[in-house]
Amino acid sequence: MHANGLPVPRAAAGTIVHRAVARLADDTVVIRQAYERRPGLVVDALLDGAAPEQVAKACGMEITDLRAVMGRWATIRRERGLLTDEAYTRLLNVVFGPAS
């Protein structure tokens, strides 16, 4: 079946799905993937010398929001073995400034 000359997507069960619903589902997958990549990309950018303010702006965050999530993201990545203790400390120093 076609609507406006375009194939109408079908759900796994074979029922016709509105194209807008199918597009929303596709977009949701893309958004989810982007959010899953975000912590790693933020960490990489910061460790490679990007300014925290620049990274926050690219993420649509205020710097205070970036600092709030970085404590959590850095800890999770270290616990999963994705950050060494040295990289973890360096990252926190970049985001929060060196400890006095």
What count of residues does the chain have?
Answer: 100
Domain assignment of residue 81, yes or no: yes
| Host H or E run for residue 11 | none
Q: How many structural domains are present in the chain?
A: 1
21 lies in a domain?
Answer: no
Which domain range does residue 86 map to? 37-96
**9-61: pLDDT as tens digits:** 665 555 667 888 888 888 889 999 998 999 999 999 999 999 999 999 999 99
pLDDT band at 88, cuts 50/70/90?
very high
Place of tokens 């406006």: 4
Contact 69, 55 (CB under 8 A): no
pTM (2 decimals)?
0.72
At 97, the amino acid letter reads G
Q: Is residue 20 part of a domain?
A: no
**Bigger pLDDT: 21 or 78?**
78
What is the sign, positive or negative, of the torsion defined by CA atoms of 40, 84, 69, 43?
negative
Q: Is residue 80 part of a domain?
A: yes
Q: Which helix (H) or strand (E) holds 3?
A: strand 2-3
Asked whether residue 3 is domain-assigned, the answer is no
Q: How confident is the model at residue 7 (pLDDT cuts 50, 70, 90)?
A: low
In a domain, 48, yes or no: yes
Q: Determine, yes or no, domain membership for 68.
A: yes
